[in-house]
Amino acid sequence: MLNAKTNLIVAMLMLTLVAACASATSPAVAPAPADKGPAAPAKQSWETDWDKTLAEAKREGKVTIYTVLSNDPRRGLSAEFARKYGIELEFVLGRGEELTEKIAAERRAGLYLVDLFVGGATTPVTTHKPAGFLDPLKPLLILPEVTDPKVWYGGQLFFIDKERQYVVCPILTASNNYNSVNTDLVRAEEFTTYRDLLNPKWKGKVIMNDPSIAGAGARWFAVVADQIMGLDFIREMVKNEPVVTRDQRFQAEGLARGKFAIGIGVQTGIQAELIKAGAPIKTVIPKEGGWLGGGGGLFAYFKNAPHPNATRIFANWFLSKEGQTIYSTTAVAESARLDVPTDHLNKDDLRAAGVNYFMSEDEEFQYKMRDYQKTAREVLSPLFK
């Protein structure tokens, strides 16, 4: 009896030992992994480039811009860019020729203080580029919404230099606002064609921006003389003794107050301020047509820029829908971006269907305009005697 009981205990111990050994040698079953959801998509190359550039840009802290821009766009761009990226926009204000002299003097002294020029087309393409001041701007562009040709008027982001690399034109404003009238003095039927400027009624009552220096007056003179009416027309117009000025504020306010009936090449930002304040100013599209231009919204990138990464961020942002909307709103100019709203603009100033527009933002024509500045001095000389 004892032996049978002992044998039973031994058998049970053997079975327990076998079960334990089997458990020790069997592989452990890993618990099912927790569901973490879909994996984050890998960043595209432009996103990696953007993030790296932005980190460096914040360390640089600012962008230095030499410009002709008026107060409102400078304030609008500065405030939003600082809010969005924490980067300062430092503006140095002056006319194109003055800023060119400043840059040349700085470079002779071995100083590289400027990142971008923002202004009209003539200065960067006929002065800065041939002087070797500029680096290509096109390689700075990162954002797909900037490089996508479908968002731009004419199916491209337009560079005005022949290399299509240096000077970019994101604004394409119709020349409608180059011919302005005081509606208290000029009835609609009295200015429908450029030839109406020869009417003796307007003798001494037309004020034009000086076409002998870079600016709106020079563009008006060059396009009208070269593409629309011919130089002889302007010689005839001079007999009507238009007043020529370089003082843009004086010109716009003189038109607003009725001292002058017609303004040629009035500074768009100042004119818009006065219209908003209730000035009786209206723009006119003569039946012969007009042209498209970038106004003061073109820009170029300087060689040895002191803040290259911050400049790259600003260039992309300025060309984005957000940046162009701010500029268009504050400068009162129509963007070349097709997705930028225009409800803040005077409908009479928008690019109009059926109008014959000459594309004036082109390097070859910029040189013509420079030559026409010399011609203007000769044609207008009777006014200065």
Q: Tell me: the pLDDT tens digits for 109-126?
A: 999 999 999 998 889 999
Whether the per-residue pLDDT at 19 is higher than 50: the answer is no
pLDDT at 21: 44
Considering the domain architecture, whether residues 270 and 375 belong to the same structural domain is answered as: yes
237 vs 359: which has the higher pLDDT: 237
Considering the domain architecture, whether residues 78 and 220 belong to the same structural domain is answered as: no
Q: What is the CATH number of the domain that holds 264?
A: 3.40.190.10
Q: Is residue 7 part of a domain?
A: no
Q: Is residue 19 part of a domain?
A: no
pLDDT at 28: 46
Check: CB of residue 305 under 8 Å from CB of residue 112. Answer: yes
pLDDT at 9: 46
pLDDT band of 7, cuts 50, 70, 90: low
Considering the domain architecture, whether residues 122 and 148 belong to the same structural domain is answered as: yes
For residue 129, the one-letter residue type is K
268 vs 56: which has the higher pLDDT: 56
Look up the domain containing 321 and give its range.
Answer: 49-172+295-349
Three-state SS for 234-271 is: HHHHHCCCCEEECCHHHHHHHHHCCCCCEEECCCHHHH
Considering the domain architecture, whether residues 301 and 165 belong to the same structural domain is answered as: yes
Q: Is residue 328 part of a domain?
A: yes
Task: Find all residues with CB under 8 Å of 52, minimum gap 6, and list them.
Answer: none
Check: CB of residue 382 under 8 Å from CB of residue 135. Answer: no
Q: Is residue 355 part of a domain?
A: no
pLDDT band of 35, cuts 50, 70, 90: low
Residues 330-378: tens digit of each pLDDT: 998 999 999 999 999 888 778 988 888 888 889 999 888 889 999 999 9
pLDDT at 353: 82
Q: How far apart are the first and last CA of the chain?
A: 147
What's the mean pLDDT in 286-307? 93
Considering the domain architecture, whether residues 335 and 253 belong to the same structural domain is answered as: no
Whether the per-residue pLDDT at 297 is higher than 90: the answer is yes
56 vs 12: which has the higher pLDDT: 56
Considering the domain architecture, whether residues 271 and 315 belong to the same structural domain is answered as: no
pLDDT band of 22, cuts 50, 70, 90: very low
pLDDT at 15: 47
Whether the per-residue pLDDT at 11 is higher than 90: the answer is no
Considering the domain architecture, whether residues 82 and 108 belong to the same structural domain is answered as: yes
Residues 172-217: tens digit of each pLDDT: 988 877 899 999 999 999 999 999 999 999 999 999 999 998 788 9
Count of domains in the chain? 2
| Whole-number Cα distances in Å, 200 to 195, 197, 203, 210 | 11, 8, 5, 21
Residues 76-96: tens digit of each pLDDT: 999 999 999 999 999 999 988
Whether the per-residue pLDDT at 16 is higher than 90: the answer is no
What's the mean pLDDT in 51-60? 98
Q: Is residue 332 part of a domain?
A: yes
Q: Is residue 5 part of a domain?
A: no
Poorest-pLDDT segment among 21-35, 110-124, 164-178:
21-35
Whether the per-residue pLDDT at 25 is higher than 50: the answer is no
Whether the per-residue pLDDT at 152 is higher than 50: the answer is yes
Considering the domain architecture, whether residues 201 and 235 belong to the same structural domain is answered as: yes
pLDDT at 272: 85
Considering the domain architecture, whether residues 192 and 157 belong to the same structural domain is answered as: no
Average pLDDT in the chain: 89
Q: Is residue 1 part of a domain?
A: no
Q: Is residue 28 part of a domain?
A: no
**Residue listed under structure tokens 């829908």:** 321
Poorest-pLDDT segment among 92-96, 142-146, 278-282:
92-96
Considering the domain architecture, whether residues 131 and 192 belong to the same structural domain is answered as: no
Considering the domain architecture, whether residues 56 and 152 belong to the same structural domain is answered as: yes
Considering the domain architecture, whether residues 101 and 211 belong to the same structural domain is answered as: no
